[in-house]
Amino acid sequence: MLENVRNSNHKGPILIHTITQKGKGYEPAEKSGDKYHGVSKFNILTGEQKKTTSNKPSYTNVFAETLIKHAHQDTKIIGITGAMPSGTGLNKFEKQFPDRMFDVGIAEQHTVTFAAGMATEGYKPFAAIYSTFLQRAYDQVVHDVAIQSLPVRFAIDRAGLVGADGPTHAGSFDVTYLSTLPNFVVMAASDEAELVKMINTSVKINDRPSAFRYPRGNGVGTNLPGINETLEIGKGRIIKEGKKVAVLNFGARLEECKNASEILLKKGIDITIIDARFAKPLDDKLILEIATTHEVVITIEEGSIGGFGSHVMQLLSDRGIFDRGLKFRSMILPDLFIDQDTPEKMYEKAGLDSQSIVNKIKETLDTNIIFAKNKV
C-alpha cells in the first residue's frame, strides 16, 4: 500500500485508512481474548505468561467494587474511561450500570472535559484513568475542571512503578502536576482499606475536584471498611511513634517503611511513621508538630520531584523550621525512566525499598552540617 502511494501520480492529498488486527502474526496472541495487550514475561514459543497468584484483592478491583456499592445508593454516580474499561475495573461497573458508564475511546482529553460537563449538571463523575495517560489531558484538567472548581473525581490507577507495564505506563508525575493546582484534593492510598476510605471521601466532595491514586497489583490483605467511613480532608495518621527520626509516607510505600522500622529497631533506632494520606491539602499541624519534635524528617513517595516531599519542604521553609537545624530528606523516584522488571526490583533500583530507607536514615543521622561564617 505504501509503495502504491509513493509511486502514485496523484497530485493532491492521499488518505490512508488502515485497519489493524491486534496480535496478528503471533498465534498465542491471536487466540488470546485480550490479544496480549498487556503481558508479563512469557515463553515466546508457547506464549505462556509467568503470572503470580494472590489471595489479596487488586487495587483496581477494590476501586470497582467500592464504586459499584456507592452507585447502588447514589444514581448520580457515573463512570468514565478512555478505552480502558477492563484496565480500570469499570467493565464491572458497566455490567451493573450500562447506562451510567461511558467509554469515550482513546481520548483522554475528551474524558476529562466530558466529566467536567457532567459535573456541571449535578452528576458525580469518576474519571478512571491511568496516571501516565492523564498527562495527555492536563490542559483540560486545568481549564475545564480546576479553574471552575468542578467536582470531578479522578481515580488514578497505575500510580508509581508498574512492573510488567514498563516505563510507558509508570505513574510518576501526577502528584506533581495535580498538587500545583488550586482547589484540588490529592490523596494516595497506602493500602486497599485506605483506598476505600478515599473513594468514600471523594463521593462527599461536591465543591472541588479530587484525585486518589493507587498502584498496579494487589493490596496488603487488610480488612476493608464500609462505604460510610470517610477521611477528614487534609488529615494524616500516626502509624507508629518513635524518637529523633520521622518518616512521612505518601502512598503505597508504607509497608516498606514498616519493614525499615523493624530493621532499624534492631540497631537501636526507633522511628516515627506517618501516613500522610494527603499531598493537598497537607496536614500542616501534624507535619509541623513532627518537624519540631524530631531531629530528622524524611518524606517518601512513589512519584517525581515536585510532589509531596516538595510541598512539605515548602511548608517547613515558610514556617522557618529549617532555621532551627532540622535535617530533611525527600525520597522520590530518580530522574530516569526505569525499565520493565518486577515491582520489587524496580523499586530497589529506584532507591525506595526498605533497605534504601534504612540507609537514608542512617546516612542522615550520621551527617554533621557545619555552618562556617565568612570572615570579613
**pLDDT for 219:** 97
3-state secondary structure of 361: helix
- Cβ atoms within 10 Å, residue 249: 28
**pLDDT for 81:** 97
Rounded to the nearest 10 degrees, the angle between the axes of helix 308-318 and helix 284-293 is: 70
Q: Which are the catalytic amino acids? A: 22, 108, 136
With residue 363 as reference, give the H or E element that holds it. Answer: helix 354-365
Backbone angles phi, psi at 102, to 5 degrees: -125, 115
**pLDDT for 371:** 45
- Rounded to whole angstroms, how far apart are CA atoms 167 and 358? 26
Cβ 195 vs Cβ 31: under 8 Å? no
C-alpha of 297 from chain center: 22
Strand 210-213 relative to strand 272-275, pairing: unpaired
**pLDDT for 214:** 98
Cβ 79 vs Cβ 66: under 8 Å? no
CA 205 → CA 45, 209, 276, distances in Å? 51, 8, 19
Supply the Cα-derived Rg of the chain in whole angstroms. Answer: 23
- Which domains does the chain carry? 17-51 (no CATH), 59-213 (3.40.50.970), 237-365 (3.40.50.920)
**pLDDT for 376:** 43
For the chain, the straight-line distance linking the first and the last C-alpha, in angstroms and rounded, comes to 78
Cβ 319 vs Cβ 288: under 8 Å? yes
**pLDDT for 369:** 54
For the entire predicted model, the pTM comes to 0.91
With residue 301 as reference, give the H or E element that holds it. Answer: strand 296-301
**pLDDT for 368:** 67
Q: What is the pLDDT along the chain (376 residues), one digit of tens a residue?
A: 789 899 999 999 999 988 888 788 898 888 876 656 767 778 888 888 776 677 899 999 999 999 999 999 999 999 999 999 999 999 999 999 999 999 999 999 999 999 999 999 999 999 999 999 999 999 999 999 999 999 999 999 999 999 988 999 999 999 999 999 999 999 999 999 999 999 999 999 999 999 999 999 999 999 999 999 999 999 999 999 999 999 999 999 999 999 999 999 999 999 999 999 999 999 999 999 999 999 999 999 999 999 999 999 999 999 999 999 999 999 999 999 999 999 999 999 999 999 999 999 999 999 765 444 444 4
> Residue 51: what residue type?
K
CA 11 → CA 3, 5, 56, distances in Å? 16, 11, 61
